[in-house]
Amino acid sequence: MARESESGLPIEPVYGPDALEGWDPAEKLGEPGAYPFTRGVYPTMYTGRPWTMRQYAGFGTAVESNARYKQLIDNGTMGLSVAFDLPTQMGHDSDAPLSHGEVGKVGVAIDSVDDMRVLFDGIPLDKVSTSMTINAPAALLLLMYQLVAEEQGVEAGKLTGTIQNDVLKEYIARGTYIFPPKPSLRLIADIFKYCKAEIPKWNTISISGYHMAEAGASPAQEIAFTLADGIEYVRTAVAAGMDVDDFAPRLSFFFVARTTILEEVAKFRAARRIWARVMKEEFGAKNPKSLMLRFHTQTAGVQLTAQQPEVNLVRVAVQGLAAVLGGTQSLHTNSFDEAIALPTDKSARLALRTQQVLAYETDVTATVDPFAGSYVVERMTDEVEAAAVALMGKVEELGGAVDAIERGFQKSEIERSAYRVAQETDSGERVVVGVNRYTIDVEEPYEPLRVDPAIEAQQAERLATLRAGRDQAAVDAALVELKKAAEGTDNVLYPMKTALKARATVGEVCDALRQVWGTYVPTDAF
C-alpha cells in the first residue's frame, strides 16, 4: 500500500540510485559548516561537544520556578528555557481582571523586575544561557533580565540567550499577540538595534515553526511559513536602516521534531538550504554566519497522549533522535506527563536524561550528518524543499508574510492540514498507540503536578506592595517618555528600560503602548 509523508508527499517502498538521478552532491550537500549548510552549520557538529540541552520550565511563582531551575542545573541542564504564564505573555498584570484564573498556570507569573530578580536569584547570569518564550512583550522581559544582570554585576556584553520575539506566528497559529503587525515589526526592529548596541551576544529572535506544527502544520508548511516570516523580519530590519550582516548572525529559529524521523531529518536539512540561498541571493549577505540557519528544537507536544502516558517516553526519545540527526543546535525534550499537566520533578528529570542517553550512550554524535547520501533522505530533502519553496511563492504572491496573514492564508492552510490529520486519526488510518489502537480498559492512576490557586492572590499582594513602595512620579514620567518614543521614531527600548527600572509593571508598560499602537483584531480566514 502506498504511503504518504506528513507533508502529503509519496514515500516509495524502496529507493535506489535512480532516486538521485542527476543529483549533484557539490550543489546539494557541500561540506558541513559551509554553504549551502545542508549538512549542518558547523564543520564538526556534535563530534566536539553535543547540542545545548535546554529544559523548558516555569510555573506558579518566581520562587517555585527558581527552585526548578536550580534542580535542572544540578541535573546537568546546559541552558534554561523560561515558560511564562498567559497574563505575562499577553502583557497583563496578575491582578488585572483578564488574568483571573490564569496566573501561574502555564508558566511563571512575572509582573515586574522584582519578580525577575527572584526568578534568577542565585543563578549567575554570566554562566548560563537563557531562552525566554515570550513574544509580544519580549522587549520587556529582556530588559528586566538585563536589569537583574546589572544588579549581579554582570555586564550586558556577557549575557547569552534568546528571546522568541516572533509575533508573526502568533497571528498565524498561537494567539498571544498584543499590537497590530506594523508596530509589532517596528518594535522588533528596535530590539535588533538595541541588542546590537547593548547586548551583542543575545539572539534577538527565534523565528518559530513549532507552534504552527502544534496547530497542525505539515513539515513543509512549518518551514515554508517560518522562513517566510523570517524574510519579513529581515526586510523590516533592512528597511529600518540596518545592514543585513549587522543583525542576521543573531537570528535563530525554532522547530518541532515529530516521530516521523526520516521526514523530520529531511525537513531540517531543506530548511538550512533554503535559508542560506535566500540570505545570499535576495539579501546579499556576505558574512557566512548570516547564511546559517541555527535552530532550537522541541519534541512534539501535540503527539503526546493522556492515555498510557508512559508510552510518551518512547515517543520523546524518537523525536529527540530526529532532532539530533537533523542537526539541531539545542533541544528540549518534553516530559511524558505533559499531556496531563505540568511536569513533575521526576518527569522533567527523565526528559533531560533522554537527551543525555542520546548524547553519551549512542553513536549519533560520532560523525556529522549520518544520513548524507542516503537515497531516501536526500530525495525527501529535495521534495520537502520543493514543497516549501512553492508555499513560500504563494505567500510572496499575496504580498509577503504580513499581507498573507491579514488575508488568513497561512492559518487556513494549517487548519486544512490539521483537519486531514484529525480525520485520519478518527478513521484509524493514522495509528496512535493507546488512543485508536492497542488501548487498555483501565488507565493506571497518575497524580499530576497542580498549581496552587492561591498564587493569584499572592501575586496581587506583591503588586500592591510594589505600587505602594515605588516612586510613582518617576514611573509616570518614564511612561510618558515611552509613549513619546512610540509615537515617534526613537528606539522605545531605552525609555522602556527606564520605566521598568523604576518598577513599572508589565501591564503598565504594555498599556502605555496599547494607547499609542492599539491592539490587533484578527481577520476572517482566507
Which residue from 226, 148, 146, 150 is spatially nearest to 194, judged by alpha carbons?
Answer: 146
The answer to whether 422 and 30 have CB atoms below 8 angstroms apart is no
Cα-based angle 362, 317, 275 (whole degrees, multiple of 5): 90
CB atoms within 10 A of CB 421: 14
Instruction: Find where cell 523560561 sits.
Output: 82
Whether the upstream peptide bond of residue 50 has omega within 30° of 0, thus cis, is no
**Domain end point (choices 427, 443, 473):** 427
Provide the whole-model pTM. Answer: 0.93
pLDDT computed for residue 72 by the predictor: 86
231 with 367, same domain: the answer is yes
User: pLDDT digits over 35-65, tens only?
Assistant: 999 999 999 999 999 999 987 777 888 999 9
368 with 467, same domain: the answer is no
Beta-bridge partner residues of 81: 56, 131
Question: In this structure, is residue 292 part of a structural domain?
Answer: yes
Relative orientation angle of helices 311-325 and 261-281, to the nearest 10 degrees: 40
Question: In this structure, is residue 174 part of a structural domain?
Answer: yes
275 with 421, same domain: the answer is yes
191 with 302, same domain: the answer is yes
Range of 133's domain? 48-427
Q: What is the CATH number of the domain that holds 88?
A: 3.20.20.240
Low-confidence ranges of the chain (pLDDT < 70): 1, 524-526
423 with 461, same domain: the answer is no
321 with 463, same domain: the answer is no
User: pLDDT digits over 306-324, tens only?
Assistant: 999 999 999 999 999 999 9
CB atoms within 10 A of CB 277: 16
Question: In this structure, is residue 498 part of a structural domain?
Answer: yes
- In this structure, what C-alpha cell is assigned to residue 386? 520543493
385 with 460, same domain: the answer is no
487 with 387, same domain: the answer is no
In total, how many domains does the chain have? Answer: 2
Taking only Cα atoms into account, the Rg of the chain, rounded to an integer number of angstroms, comes to 23
- In this structure, what C-alpha cell is assigned to residue 100? 483571573
The answer to whether 526 and 407 have CB atoms below 8 angstroms apart is yes
